[in-house]
Structure 1
């Protein structure tokens, strides 16, 4: 069975984040975003009723216990539900969040969601138990939303999704974050979300929501659609300034201005096969650089680079250039 628990990974948003993947490969999602680092959506679903979960809560806790024995409690900042798809598709997500919070009560639990299923009462109830929920909001008009996020059939329109975020905010005691991915394109007719029209809609919605935190992002890893590219730092600054005026009390985190410098945490030496499995567990969820994997696994970068080279030669993984250097991608 593919591991449910992976990492911890160095996260520009959450520090050292221990991942929990409740969908598992192949990718299951309600969106097929042009910038997704995991490639196209294989299982295109629109409801938790369509999702067939093979994950047992007992197995999740068993893996979490094994991981905590290996890395130690001090080595993580968050336990984050995210991975190879939309976590709210799993109808057992609520039981999993509760079980994790009971097992590791001293660490906050985060959920990264694309917001598409928040219109469901049961999904809002489940997410209310998380300490931090990060809602995707790349666009606030339907045209741009469909252009960038490419929702599957029967997903609510963007107006309904925004209304659902507002409804969730009422009574929520944790940190409500918005994750905004600004994308540019080599195609002149592609509707980017930082044009004056699209950005005006987005800023208006941010002003309405008034989130606790805004995670301002642009693609830095290799993406699915080759015409997609990151915006420049000037554009990020312009958008940040407009967001700051619209939501002055929100904490704004920018991907190009990381606040946290993570150092590798030394761990016991493991067999080569175990290291390879841990590397694959990371790469199934996101493309990574050698330095990212070194920090995550607590292994010297030179050793990681030698293992990666071997795995590339075997065809298990591949290389691709991103904004910050060479990234390694799972070939499965």
Structure 2
């Protein structure tokens, strides 16, 4: 069984070549309601591991200069892999200009060894679904002794010292973490996290448990509840229904000032007349485009100038 999968053309991260650090079975310290894998008891360490040598040999067979990122993931939580530091060091020797990325649920940042190891990566994506202890336990179903307040504190600390590209992700589950109260708590926590981008998503694939996601419209409404200084991006597009509303030029500028949007967002939210008005604002340079990672956002030029002064 190979440890390599892809490459996958990721909208958020480019051409991604995946490394599965637990190819034989699911090994995770969470048993999330929304997981695409089958329900499994949580663990705090891997019992089935693959060698660094095998992973590197597999990687050499598939790596090319067309790959944007080497993505460390797993059937479960990749930071449970016991040889992670050694693996990253070996990947760095052969990756050339390709960047390294890990997708983690953030919980093991409380471990100093893991914390320091993740500092070695070019890109890190951390998940944070809830701040309230009861909501966190309902959604993420963590292993015993994982405390969400300790995790949040370490995520905030990590964001202050990490030199690479840091991305956050919040996945909404209907009726659990999509309330105004929980979003307000997430907003407060994210205000103290220095992230390049915060992705808001919902359930895109059949979940492990009988739970539901929220609609694109609800995701957009949730995005507006976050402070405008937080770089929110609506990541989920599955089952998105076009809104096609009419926006005046003032509406467009106000909307983009509150929440910069991608062209995909524009296509879902604006009607044709509004899109023409947006094109006019772009030509007049009242609206500009800004790249964040592999995504391009539209925002008012006044917004960019204001942020430069800070």
Using structure 2 for the length normalisation, give the TM-score.
0.73
CA RMSD in angstroms, aligned pairs only: 2.1
SS at match of 2:224: helix
**Aligned mates of 1:253, 1:222 — CA distance in 2:** 20
Partner of 1:221: 205
Partner of 1:165: 155
**Aligned mates of 1:94, 1:41 — CA distance in 2:** 26
- Choose from 240, 243, 246 the match for 2:223: 240
**Aligned mates of 1:260, 1:246 — CA distance in 2:** 20
The runs of 5 or more residues in structure 1 that have no matched partner are: 185-190, 262-332
Partner of 2:233: 252
Partner of 2:275: none
Q: CA deviation at 1:251?
A: 5.6
Partner of 2:56: 61
**Aligned mates of 2:19, 2:235 — CA distance in 1:** 24
CA shift digits 1:57-108 (9 cap, x unpaired): 111111111113xxx421x221100120101111211111121121112111
CA shift digits 1:194-246 (9 cap, x unpaired): 111111111111112132211111111111112x1221112111122223525
* Runs of 4+ more than 4 Å apart: 257-261
Partner of 1:182: 172
SS at match of 2:17: strand
SS at match of 1:180: strand
Q: CA deviation at 1:36?
A: 0.1
CA shift digits 1:118-141 (9 cap, x unpaired): 011100111001111111101011
CA shift digits 1:170-193 (9 cap, x unpaired): 321001111110111xxxxxx511
Contact 2:187 2:227 in 1 (8 A): no
Which is greater in Rg?
A: 2
Partner of 1:319: none
**Aligned mates of 1:140, 1:12 — CA distance in 2:** 28
Partner of 2:80: 89
Of the structure 1 ranges 173-182 and 15-24, higher mean CA displacement relative to structure 2 is found in: 15-24
Q: CA deviation at 1:41?
A: 2.3
